[in-house]
Amino acid sequence: MTLMISVPSDDAKAIFDGEKTWELRKAFPNQIKLPSPVMVYVPKPVKCVLGIFATTKIVAWTAKEWVEYGEQLCWTEEQIADYLQGKVGYGINIVNPRRIEPIPLEKLIKLGIKPPQVYSYLSRREVLGILK
């Protein structure tokens, strides 16, 4: 199972430039087995899968704990607090990010893959279809 996450273009750039080493989520991707590949989909205006990274760790921490990782999230303390609103945040570590040839939304749709609003799971067959 491969995780596909949707991230804004600024966050995708930070991931693939090596600046962002943690991705923060409100929901826990509970079907993922570690270590796992993660595909990065960027919605409007890009509408493409731009790359992939590995993850070896998912942690659940409070906003107070995440503040210590603000630089690795590329977020300020205020952004973390506003996003989590007092709830636990789930962090996905980012290992070996790499850009790939962009895979447009049209190709995903042709393969029957709906891009995620937050995250989704892809089978091995779906991943191979995307990367062809």
Tens of pLDDT, residues 36-91 = 999 999 999 999 999 999 999 999 999 999 999 999 999 999 999 999 999 999 99
**For residues 8, 10, 14 and 20, what is the CA-based torsion angle, rounded to 10 degrees?**
-50
Check residue 30 and give its pLDDT.
85
As beta bridge partners, residue 84 has: none
Report pLDDT for 29. 84
- CB burial of residue 132 (10 Å; 0-12, 13-18, 19+): exposed
pLDDT level of residue 113 (50, 70, 90 thresholds) = very high
Position 132 scores a pLDDT of 84
Which residues are registered as beta bridge partners of 41? 6, 49
Q: What is the pTM assigned to this prediction?
A: 0.94
Task: Give tens-digit pLDDT for 1-37.
Answer: 899 999 999 999 999 999 999 999 999 888 889 999 9
